[in-house]
Amino acid sequence: MRMLARLSRRFATATALGALLCGALFADPLATAAAAAPAAAANPTVTVPPAGSHGFPFLAAAEDLGSFGYTESEYFISGTATSYAKSGLWTSDGRWNVRASGTADYKSRLLVRRPADPAKFNGTVVVEWLNVSGQLDLSPDYWFERDELLREGYAWVGVSAQAVGVNGGLGAIKGLKGWDPARYGSLVHPGDAFAYDIFSQAGQALRTPNGPNPLGGLPVRTLLADGESQSAGFMTTYVNAVQPLAKVYDGFMVHSNSAIASPISGVLADTLLMPNPSRIRTDLAVPTFVVLTETDVPGAATARQPDTGSVVHWELAGTAHGDQWAYDLGEATVQKSAGSAAPSADCAAGSAPFNDGPGHWAMNSALRHLATWARGGARPPSSQSLSTVLRDPATGLATGGVRLPDITVPTRTLTGSRDTTGSGVFCGLYGARDAWNGDADVWDRHDDGDPSDPYFPATAEPVLSWLYPTHADYVSKVRAAAQTSVDAGYLLPEDATAIVGAAQESGIGG
């Protein structure tokens, strides 16, 4: 094994991406308000929105949810939200105290997907803090977890928690209000200092609705909070500072956060005042599951902490912050609402395609583990630390971490980083893949743009027929690797079946 350090362009890209993931805090006006006393989350008023000019909610699913036995609806929540300020010294242990610093009126929305048949509901609601890094509402973890959500009967609720999603920011679409004034013109967001309490009140509206029931009367057994990327930074701060007061959620999924949590003030510049690193507090009665992709590890590694009875971390080899799976699932939905104004990866022509690795398989397993754990079941297994620097020189794959069959029985290089020369700011989030085809691709130049071999001296790509002399040999190895991952708790049995089926249908081997 040799030390393969990423070149400076990739390091600069990772640094820039860290800033990008906080970038949704731009252009966020803060309301001036009187101080209020800290309290458990208030119960907002729930109403039904008007039809509007589009006739459907922003981010309405493009796929036929009815074919899965699901319905989609939207509700408004309104009330008075509280903002918070630091109380006492905040340190890296995450045991952060806050005081109420103000109140302001608000009105936001919930996008709800739930089983149409109450008998199909499994009792767990996943409440996703919608991501606004692209300057509009997106639901990355719905796309990563979609198979598990729909097959197992979860309800999913997307919350427009942040001001950019409602009021607009730097993008062409000026928030929900600009996209459809007839539907969303009455919404009010006073700024991201109030986003934490708005998210708490969204959970209260699902537990004890004051108005129409967003879940159609489904009995809530477990309420899980979920945030990916920029939203995971807010989720970290929510876990550490707000959950001890609000006590609304039964568990937390923190997917792809960085080492520094989002500021409680909602002001981007205050990120500099946050503890670095910002770890997850370990004294809560509810669990927190932190999942990092290969893209995230360089910017999050300093916040590593031992797993405990309430905090578990996974680091996923061969995965990316965004990937082909999430892109393909979400693209039609984003295009339905945003059209040409949708955020674009904008990767340079002739560069390697997106990572199409096992991130979604791991997220399916993580979600099921968290739901079980939050109900008093077993804690998920721990994972090894992932190294994005020490890589297998033959395959270009990272070492350590959770290693699913795509990595242990590899057929291509999968990486969480990529050369972004000539590309847009979002391109680096999607990692890269490189088929092993005798260096036949235009990017196979043994430089920083070559995922399988970005360094001199040149190393030839592995030859699949040598690795797997027969098709039966390949399928047998995939089956064994899938069972190993299931036994270890990193892969669900139904996903192992799908992985083995794909191997059987492939032409790999011989």
pLDDT tens column, 127-177: 999 999 999 999 999 999 999 999 999 999 999 999 999 999 999 999 999
pLDDT tens-place string over residues 290-327: 999 999 999 999 999 999 999 999 999 999 999 999 99
End-to-end CA distance of the chain: 27
Q: In terms of Cα–Cα distance, which of 270, 252, 253 is closest to 261?
A: 270
Rounding to the nearest 10 degrees, give the CA dihedral for residues 264, 270, 274, 279: 60
pLDDT digits (tens, 9 = 90+) for 23-66: 444 444 333 333 333 457 999 999 999 999 999 999 999 999 99
Give the E-state strand segments of 194-335 in sequence order.
222-228, 251-255, 288-293, 311-316
What six digits make up the tokens of 38?
Answer: 């800290």
Closest CA to 216 of 333, 149, 125, 150: 125
DSSP single-letter state for residue 188: B
Tokens of 437: 């085809």
Proportion of the chain above pLDDT 70, given as a percent: 92
Write the CB contacts of 269 (distance below 8 Å, at least 6 apart in sequence): none
Q: How far is CA 370 from the centre of its chain?
A: 15
Q: How far apart (Å, rounded) are the C-alpha atoms in residues 141 and 144?
A: 5
Smallest Cα–Cα separation from 198: which of 251, 299, 266? Answer: 266
Can you give the pLDDT at residue 2? Answer: 35
| Mean local confidence (pLDDT), 73-85 | 98
Whole-number mean pLDDT of the chain?
A: 93
Vertex 83: Cα angle to 164 and 161 (nearest 5): 30
pLDDT digits (tens, 9 = 90+) for 399-437: 999 999 999 999 999 999 999 999 999 999 999 999 999
pLDDT tens across 202-261, in order? Answer: 999 999 999 999 999 999 999 999 999 999 999 999 999 999 999 999 999 999 999 999
Work out the pLDDT band at 17, boundaries 50, 70, 90: low
Answer whether 92's CB lies under 8 Å from 277's CB: yes
Q: How far apart are CA 292 and CA 275, in angstroms?
A: 19
Instruction: Give me the pLDDT at residue 40, please.
Output: 77
**Closest Cα partner for 75 from 163, 168, 160?**
160
The pTM for the full model equals 0.94
Cα–Cα nearest to 298, from 2, 9, 17: 17
pLDDT of residue 454: 86
- Bridge partners, residue 70, by sequence: 115
Helix axes 471-488, 493-505, angle to 10 degrees: 170
| Confidence label for 457 from pLDDT (cuts 50, 70 and 90) | confident
Q: If we measure between CA atoms, which residue out of 365, 345, 238, 399 comes closest to residue 291?
A: 365
Using an 8 Å Cβ cutoff, are 375 and 221 in contact? yes
Separation CA 224–CA 367 (nearest Å): 9
